[in-house]
Structure 1
Amino acid sequence: MAEQLDEVDFALAAYRTEGEWVVAELTHDHLGDVDVLASALRRFPGDAGTLGLVAIDEDFFVLVRVSGGSTRLLLSDVTAAEEWELAASVLEHLHLPDPEDDDEPEPAGEVGLLADLGVSAATMAELIDDEELYPDELLSEVARMVGFGELFDDVVGLTSA
């Protein structure tokens, strides 16, 4: 697990408090599995829950949305579970089987996770299908659509377009 944490591109919490978005970095201690990550996200004082955005090895991302006792998930590529403990934990949490060797990269979980925040399931699926986008770029676009793009880009170190 420790060597996998070195491959984490970023892990962030995003939440709204008093109508303003706040983006905070999560420590790698919070990335052991979905339960640990969700527990860490619940500590933030979001008015309507908290989003977790994790990108790993410029390869895939995990989106987590917690609100009260609810944990909702989106994994950008099921095949990541073959090598990455966090991705395997997402599939386990979703009660999905481990990927087979011949499985194609596809998302798992709720593609419409952010529909109420302005990112429809169709838009999210389209972004995930865009092979030109790295996870940080995709999540930057999602953050922009939701309303915290500049904060996201500042924390991750991306230059806003």
Structure 2
Amino acid sequence: MADLREGRDPQSEGTRLARVAELLGGRKILRKYPRNRMEAHEMLLHGLPAKALTSFVEKFVTLNWDAALEKAVGMSLRTYQRHVAADDKPLSLEQTARTWKLAEIVAKATDVFGSREKAELWLTQPAIGLNQRRPIDLLATPAGVELVETYLERIDYGVYT
């Protein structure tokens, strides 16, 4: 229902989820793409493999591991390094949810701005519609995530402020 209310094509849900899964390492790491939100939920309940976050971070074009990214993912650099060293341990439920949400936002921003590089740059630049805050800084809380997602939707529809 939410997809119809927001003017989205429900058939493209699987495509959107596949793009997010691809950012997290694709089939090689996740083993399969969720076809719908319920399958994504079930997959996330088990925790993403640490390799999913590692793969995502390695593909960054302009983003770096900094304090803002630590807050967005809910993990310090040292904890991230430990996950890299022991990549067989899954991420916690909170880290999994935050990593997935960041990947969703990067995927959406890539669609809106036309490239991964432009999407990542947008995340790190102050935005007029976000009271001159950087979108990446707002990803530390659910309310901030909602602001960023709403703002991205507005940009996508041509409403910038």
Structure (1/2) with the larger helix percentage: 2
Q: TM-score, length-normalised on structure 1?
A: 0.31
Structure (1/2) with the larger strand percentage: 1
Q: TM-score, length-normalised on structure 2?
A: 0.31
